[in-house]
Structures are given as C-alpha cells and as structure tokens.
Amino acid sequence: MGSIYRTLSSLEASGFIVPEWDMSSSPPRKIYKITPLGLEYLEQVKIEVMSLKALVEAFAEKLEKLGGGK
C-alpha cells in the first residue's frame, strides 16, 4: 500500500496533481486533482502507449504468420 502514496507524492512533486482536503466527510479525506501539466503529461504517455501497442500488435501478427502463435 505504501507504493501508492510514494507515487502520489512523486506526481505532486512533479506538478501533475494537487491535493485538496474533502472536509465534508468524517474523517476528512485527501483527494487529488490533475493539473493542466498533468493532463499534458497524460496525453504524452497515451501517445507513447498507443505506439507501443501498435508495435506489439505488429509483432504478434508476424509471429502468427510464422506459426509461432500456436
């Protein structure tokens, strides 16, 4: 469970998210909101992931044609 808090702390330090306290619940909860910088980073990561996905799919298709997908 500790790794999620380290990740949130890192994202906050990078300016990708900002914490806010939800005082309407008892006890109060810390919630995070994505920043404009975080949205830009998310879009960049999405593009990289989609590119990697295309590469893996192309590799899988070639492997299937070679009979290695059995």
Does residue 69 carry a pLDDT above 80?
Answer: no
Q: Given this model, what pLDDT does residue 9 score? A: 95
Q: How confident is residue 67, by pLDDT bands cut at 50, 70 and 90?
A: confident
Burial of 12 per CB tally in 10 Å (0-12, 13-18, 19+): middle
Round the average pLDDT of the chain to a whole number and report it. Answer: 93
Domain ranges across the chain: 1-34, 36-70
Put simply, whether the predicted model's pTM sits higher than 0.75 gets the answer no
| Tens-digit pLDDT profile for residues 30-59 | 999 999 999 999 999 999 999 999 999 999
Closest C-alpha to 32, from 46, 43, 14, 16 = 16
